[in-house]
Amino acid sequence: MENKLEVSILIPYKLNNGQVFVFLQKRDSNAKVLPGHFSFFGGKVENGESLKEALEREIKEELGVVLNNYNFLGTYQSFKDKSITLNVYFTKVNNNFEKEIKVNEGEYGKFFSESEMLLESMLIENDKIILKDFYKLLREKEEL
């Protein structure tokens, strides 16, 4: 039987002058998976945890904040490893977000505009596809 890995991840975003900026982490250069790449915050679901419990735990560990208000974007299969399921959530943050959090994993966090995200060579294509879906959803909700 194939071993499935469930992961819960978060896209924090802010609006500024009609543009959406997403906050991603720069992974450590010595990380086991995707060293030096930009990626989402979050991680694997532990035994007995719900997807939301895992998300809330991971975000508290990685950013030092308690999540209260977030929405579900969708479920994706990892292109790199089909046994990994990504459960993607998003939350709108305020313009002071970077001052309110502490990035505890990875080198740092950075906001990306949609055009910067598309051009970033250290962001894997799988994540770019997820982010394109995220931008599409915001356009449909008339957030943009």
List the CATH number of the domain containing 127.
3.90.79.10
Q: Which domain holds residue 53?
A: 5-140
Domains contained in the chain, number: 1
Count the helix, strand and coil residues of the chain and give each as a percent rounded to the nearest 5.
25, 35, 40
> Average pLDDT of 129-133?
95
Tell me which residue has tokens 């990035």.
103
Percent pLDDT > 90 in the chain is: 78
pLDDT tens, residue by residue, 41-69: 999 999 999 999 999 999 999 999 999 89
Specify whether the CB–CB gap between 117 and 123 falls below 8 A: yes
CA-to-CA separations, 14 to 3, 54, 92, 122, in angstroms, rounded: 36, 23, 6, 21
Strand 19-26 versus strand 38-39 pairing type: antiparallel
pLDDT tens, residue by residue, 103-130: 998 999 999 999 999 999 999 888 999 9
Q: Which amino acid is residue 94, in one-letter code?
A: N
